[in-house]
Amino acid sequence: MFGLEDRVILVTGGNRGIGAAVVTMLANHGAKVAYTYRSHPNPELNALALKADVTDPQSMEAVA
């Protein structure tokens, strides 16, 4: 497909479902991945988990 080495990617809502699949795919292609979650991180994902709510500006500023 393509290589994502040396890329850092943030996936919002990457804790489960389609978001978790995106996190997994990106990591499998060499990206360094972080994802946001609202309640509980997914321990099965090989990525940095950041507690944040995209509807809350202060929460997202803390991630930045």
Q: What is the DSSP string of 9-45?
A: EEETT-SSHHHHHHHHHHHHTT-EEEEEESS---TTS
- Do 29 and 1 contact (CB within 8 A), yes or no? yes
Could you tell me if residue 34 is inside a domain?
Answer: yes
Write the pLDDT tens digit of every residue in 1-57: 578 999 999 999 999 999 999 999 999 999 999 999 999 999 999 999 999 999 999
Interstrand relation of 8-11 and 32-37 (parallel, antiparallel or unpaired):
parallel
Could you tell me if residue 64 is inside a domain?
Answer: no
Could you tell me if residue 63 is inside a domain?
Answer: no
Could you tell me if residue 2 is inside a domain?
Answer: no
Write the pLDDT tens digit of every residue in 39-48: 999 999 999 9
How much is the pLDDT for 3?
A: 82
How much is the pLDDT for 1?
A: 56
Residue labelled with tokens 């990206």: 31
How much is the pLDDT for 19?
A: 96
